[in-house]
C-alpha cells in the first residue's frame, strides 16, 4: 500500500517505520528535517519537508496515489484540515486523523473519518490499570483465605 504520514513525531515516526518494515511504500511529511532522525535507521521511504496543509507539499509526497493518509501532527486542527484535503481533493480511500480533543474527535468520527483520540484511549488505559490494582482479590482467591 502507498501510505502518506503527516507529522514525524514519536507516533508518526514509529508508525512509518513499522509500516515501511512491513513492505509498504511510505512517504513522511514534517516541517523540519531533524524530525526524520526519529525514523528507523533502515527506513527506505520518502521524506518531504513542508506543511501537510499545503496541497503542493501533499502532492510531492504522492498523495494522489496514496491508499492511506495518516495525520499525526501535534495540532488537532491541522490534522483535521489535512485529512479533509486528502479525502475531498485527492480521494484518498482511508484517512486517519489523530485528534486530542474528545469533543472534536467525536464530531469528525460522526462525519465518517477514522479518528484516534489519545486523550480518551490513554485515560481509559490508566483508569483501567488503577482500578485493577485496587480491586479486591478475585472471588476464588478470597474463598481460599
Binding site for other proteins (CB under 8 A): 53-56, 75-78, 80-82, 84-85, 88-89, 101, 103-104, 107, 110-111
Least distance (Å) from other proteins to the CB of residue 6? 12
For β-strands 68-71 and 2-6, DSSP reports them as parallel
CA atoms of 145 and 140, how far apart (whole Å):
9
Nearest to other proteins of 45, 52 (CB atom): 52
CA nearest to 117, candidates 100, 97, 140, 137: 100
Least distance (Å) from other proteins to the CB of residue 64? 15
Nearest to other proteins of 35, 90 (CB atom): 90
Least distance (Å) from other proteins to the CB of residue 110? 7
The answer to whether 94 and 76 are in contact (CB under 8 A) is: no
Grid cell 500500500 is found at: 1
Nearest to other proteins of 25, 55 (CB atom): 55
Q: How far is CA 45 from the centre of its chain?
A: 17
Least distance (Å) from other proteins to the CB of residue 109? 11
Amino acid at each position: 500500500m502507498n501510505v502518506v504520514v503527516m507529522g514525524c513525531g514519536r507516533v508518526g515516526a514509529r508508525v512509518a517505520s513499522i509500516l515501511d518494515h512491513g513492505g509498504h511504500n511510505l512517504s513522511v511529511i514534517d516541517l523540519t528535517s531533524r524530525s526524520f532522525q526519529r525514523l528507523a535507521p533502515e527506513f527506505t521511504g520518502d521524506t518531504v519537508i513542508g506543511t501537510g496543509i499545503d496541497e503542493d507539499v501533499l502532492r510531492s509526497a504522492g498523495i494522489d496515489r496514496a491508499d492511506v493518509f495518516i495525520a499525526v501532527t501535534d495540532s488537532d486542527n491541522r490534522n483535521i484540515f489535512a485529512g479533509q484535503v486528502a479525502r475531498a481533493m485527492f480521494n484518498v480511500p482511508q484517512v486517519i486523523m489523530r485528534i486530542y480533543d474528545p469533543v472534536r474527535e467525536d464530531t469528525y468520527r460522526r462525519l465518517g473519518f477514522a479518528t484516534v483520540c489519545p486523550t480518551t484511549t490513554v485515560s481509559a488505559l490508566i483508569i483501567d490499570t488503577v482500578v485493577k490494582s485496587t480491586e479486591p482479590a478475585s472471588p476464588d482467591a478470597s474463598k481460599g483465605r
